[in-house]
Structure 1
């Protein structure tokens, strides 16, 4: 059984840990709100790109863009699938990374079966932004590009643009037939869930659903322009005769905005998971402190009771001794 000194020493340790978890909770809360503001600033641009592409496709119904359809291949050919997975490097984030890895496994299993059903041979390469999850997925037999290094911490548009450009060039040069992105998106201010979106060929309907989810977040809605997203423009516009050049530019900018938005969402979701985890840790520390405090009080009360019992026994013994001595004298 622990002594009173040991319990007090443990209480001091728990109190220090509680202070750390509360500080990390506050820091994660601030970072999450900052990331939400960044996402709100990028959303109008992303929506504008998607709407512009939609209008071009509507005005040019015979346009056969390679960015909107899968390539035609012969049965038995290799089908190169690149999957970019936004995991983190740090800990104390609850089940954030585990959830993303689990969603990746489900997606890869489903997509592999679909590719094999079409008669192609899947060649899958994974690109993880963080160090978490690499060993688990590599243990499943997937090929992971170890040279790929990126971080979702404090994302910047310039870095996202470089990543999007590399994905776009790989697709243009036929280094890949299909590119997907797996990350965690916040559905409510305090909860998130992993999802996967197809980057190329573009999935316009899937992108619209993601934007509709994002604009419902109160933190994002509070900093968006009034009336966003508003009605679709109805005024026709002219564009160059070289539609392919226009589509190359639009898809390049759309991809940059989408990757940046996903990085910001993943960063916000990680901070939210860490904030929740630290809040739970703080509550557990408080409960443990109360339990230790009760144990110390019980030990102190037991010690006091023991001392009183010893004092009473000593007084009683002295009384018997005095009686015995008095009897002998008589």
Structure 2
């Protein structure tokens, strides 16, 4: 049985840990509110932009074919893995790692065997994990320290240039999609080549609509496509940012609860150990008194 000093030391240590996890939970909750507001404002814009692009592409027809919509035989693949800069977020980062590894095994096994898969790591954890397994495209391990559209745009442009030049035949993003505080879903979303947006069955027909374009509709489409691709990557980064704070808040809340349960167990052990020590001392005193009485 542990001594009273050891149990007291463990109680003090767990109490300190509980204070830290409680503080981290509060910080994550404050950051989550801002991140959640950002992604909730971003989603309608991204959806509307994709809808406008789809309508204009349908109107422009073959004249609007872009370098970003060319479908080639998939020989070289770029995977954009989006994680966080820090840990202590439960399985948040490891789920992305599993998602990338599963994607490679199930979809790009031949490309992996040929060594034709490149990873762009956004977030320090992804940079550390995939950097040990091969060269990375660019250095984006501190994107979340100053998260903005400009910081993500550079990564998007690098991926777009690689696809347009034929360096990559397919570009896929793997990230955590934010659902709520307790739920984050790993998504593998194709960024390039462009996939036609599926229109709902009851959507109004736009192919025959009478629009006036200035400049030409082809020029508008060619301008919107790069912007839409950058917005898609920025949206994925915002989703990951909100998911990170939600996962960390949940993990720290659970850690605080576990620390409380451990404290109860340690205090019970401390009281039992203290009671046993007192009982032993009483028995020793009684035994000593009896020995003195018998010696007389």
Pairwise same-fold verdict (TM > 0.5) = yes
- The verdict on how the C-alpha distance between 1:57 and 1:146 changes in structure 2, with shifts beyond 3 A counting, is closer
**d(CA) in 1 for partners of 2:96 and 2:63?**
36
* Residue of structure 2 in register with 1:188 after alignment: 180
Q: CA deviation at 1:12?
A: 0.8
Match of 1:178 in 2: 170
Alignment match, 1:219: none
1:90 equivalenced with 2:86 (yes/no) = yes
Residue of structure 1 equivalent to 2:122: 129
- 1:261-317 C-alpha deviation (Å, 9 max, x unpaired): 111111111222222222222122112211111111012111222233233334444
Which string of whole-angstrom CA distances, capped at 9 and with x for unpartnered residues, describes residues 106-153 of structure 1? Answer: 21233325879xxxx78321111134355655676xx53264234352
1:261 maps to which residue?
Answer: 235
The 5 Å alignment of 1:1-330 reads 1-63=1-63, 65-66=65-66, 69-72=69-72, 79-113=75-109, 123-133=116-126, 137=130, 143-145=134-136, 147-153=138-144, 155-205=147-197, 236-240=210-214, 242-321=216-295, 325=296
Normalized against structure 2, the TM-score is what? Answer: 0.84
**1:65 to partner: Cα distance:** 1.5
- Runs of at least 5 residues in structure 2 that lack an aligned partner in the other structure: none
The 1:233/1:99 distance shift into structure 2, 3 A limit, reads same
Structure 1 gaps, min length 5: 210-230, 326-330
Count of residues paired in the alignment? 290
Give 1:156 shift. 1.0
TM-score normalized by structure 1? 0.77
RMSD: 3.0
Does the CA-based 8 Å contact 2:143-2:151 persist in structure 1? no
Partner secondary structure for residue 75 of structure 2: strand
Distance 1:189 1:307 in 2: 53
Aligned-partner Cα distance in 1 for 2:143–2:32: 13
Deviation per CA, 1:25-61, whole angstroms, max 9, x where unpaired? 1111221221111112222321221111121123234
8 A Cα contact 1:103 1:194, kept in partner: yes
Q: Is contact 2:60–2:218 with CA below 8 Å preserved after alignment?
A: no
Rate the CA distance shift 1:311–1:164 in 2: closer, same or farther, 3 A.
same
Cα 1:304–1:115 change in 2 (3 A) is: closer
Q: What is the CA–CA distance in structure 2 between the aligned matches of 1:113 and 1:296, rounded to whole Å?
A: 56
Structure 2 residue aligned with 1:328: none
